[in-house]
Amino acid sequence: MMRVVELSGDLITRAINLLRIRKYITNEDLARELGLSNEEVNTLLGVLLAEGIIDEVRITHQCSTCPLRGFCSVVGSCKDLRVFKLRIN
């Protein structure tokens, strides 16, 4: 049975704090850090996107212009990588 994510203020605050610290985060990293399933973190990200709190960053195949180039672990294989950043400070 799938657990329904409760979008509590604490969960949203923890997600925002992670984005403040890391600047950019993947949905997989966010799920791991928050202890959520992929479905749950996608729900959370959908709400944060809809509310204008975060932006999705498009990753191109040009590593030299990628915002993750300083700490990327998937160099050259980021075709479908979804990355998010905080819109607000």
Q: Answer whether 5's CB lies under 8 Å from 40's CB.
A: yes
Tell me the residue range of the domain where 65 lies.
9-86
Domain with residue 67: its CATH number is 1.10.10.10
Q: Answer whether 41's CB lies under 8 Å from 22's CB.
A: no
Q: Look at residue 2 in the predicted model and tell me its pLDDT.
A: 43
Which ranges of the chain have pLDDT less than 70? 1-6, 60-80, 89
In a domain, 3, yes or no: no
Task: Please give the model's pTM, rounded to 2 decimal places.
Answer: 0.74
In a domain, 16, yes or no: yes
Q: How far apart are CA 30 and CA 33, in angstroms?
A: 5
The tally of domains found in the chain comes to 1
In a domain, 1, yes or no: no
